[in-house]
Amino acid sequence: MLRRVTKPEQLMRPKARYRCLGARVLVAAQFVFDDVWAAWILPVPGKCFDEEVSHVYAEGSLLEAPLARFLFPEFADYRYKGD
């Protein structure tokens, strides 16, 4: 059986995250490649953010890098999509 080998630096990097902006807007960030991340924004119904976040990744608008870095400083050591 083959096992995936994880680099030590990958164990320490942040996982996918989301933040609420008001009651009905979510921003979400995650890695799209090994060391490249992106963040998206989308209005949502605001009933259950844990369930609605998948729609942000699928249908949201890509945030510009400066705003994404401001909202998700834990990703600051990694390259942003489009840089």
Kindly list the domain boundaries of the chain, sorted by start residue: 13-80
CB-neighbour burial class of residue 14 (10 A; exposed 0-12, middle 13-18, buried 19+): middle
Residue 52 pLDDT exceeds 70:
yes
pTM over cut 0.85? no
Residue 26 pLDDT exceeds 90:
yes
Contact 40, 62 (CB under 8 A): yes
What three-state secondary structure class fits 63?
Answer: coil
Residue % of the chain over a pLDDT of 90: 72
Residue 13 pLDDT exceeds 90:
no
Listed residue (79, 78, 72, 82) closest to 12, CA to CA: 78
Task: Kindly indicate the confidence band of residue 67, based on its pLDDT and cuts at 50, 70 and 90.
Answer: very high
Quote the CA–CA distance of 51 and 28 in Å, as a whole number.
12
